């Protein structure tokens, strides 16, 4: 799922793109001059907490550094 901005009519829309070769056109004006942007769907699917290795210490505040 990608978000696009049309460079012709300045419309913003989302499109499910299954192939990098798939042509995307603006649903408002029908033009293909669109700019791919990062989708909020893609961002929300990512982990919000970083992973710092495979240990069970949980980072600094999990007891890993002794200062918490």
pTM value > 0.75: no
Q: Rounded to a whole number, what is the distance in angstroms from the first to the last CA of the chain? A: 41
Q: Which two tokens stand for residue 47?
A: 């982990």
Higher confidence at residue 22 or residue 3?
Answer: 3
Supply the pLDDT for residue 41.
60
| Partners of 37 in the β-ladder | 3
**Residue 6 pLDDT grade (very low, low, confident, very high; cuts 50, 70, 90):** very high
10-52 per-position pLDDT tens digit: 999 998 888 777 889 999 999 999 999 876 665 565 555 555 5
């Amino acid at each position: 799922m990608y978000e696009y901005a049309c460079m012709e009519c300045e419309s913003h829309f989302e499109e499910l793109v299954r192939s990098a070769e798939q042509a995307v056109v603006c649903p408002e004006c029908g033009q293909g001059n669109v700019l791919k942007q990062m989708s909020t769907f893609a961002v929300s699917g990512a982990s919000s907490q970083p992973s710092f290795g495979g240990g069970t210490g949980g980072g600094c505040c999990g007891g890993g550094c002794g200062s918490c």
